[in-house]
Amino acid sequence: MSVVVTRLEGMKFKAEADGLEVVSGRVREDAPLEGMTPGRLLTASLGLCTAMTIAGYCEKRGVRADGLKVVVAAKTDKAVGRAVAFDVEINMGRPLTEEERKVVLEAAQSCYVGKTLLGSPSITHRLVENS
């Protein structure tokens, strides 16, 4: 998986992958945001992945998920400049049986983004200069 990020103007950037794009930032400091900030995109990625994984699990197991709503709250530590915790709240919009609860929680813990964040992946930065 690869994503290409390019600067559009000022502090406005575009991320592209597989023919799809997301815009983040703003042209000027006094201009309105034109997309979610990178931190919000990270939080949104966790929520989207969790919701999509739950919906897929539920569909395969015949569990209704039409009222599914996921809210993710990120706790940040400004002293270290990063998120230090995520709270993921899952609401199925209806009461669940014990078996349905197990399916939903198993699915939530199987989300690719969540597993990646928990696994502390390595990150390599390389400077590439055009000639």
pLDDT tens by residue, 61-78: 999 999 999 999 999 999
Specify the pTM. 0.92
Three-state DSSP at 69 gives strand
Three-state DSSP at 11 gives strand
For the chain, give percent helix, strand, coil, nearest 5.
30, 30, 40
Residues with pLDDT less than 50, the chain: none
CA–CA gap between residue 72 and residue 5 (Å, rounded): 25
Bridge partner residues of 91 (DSSP): 69
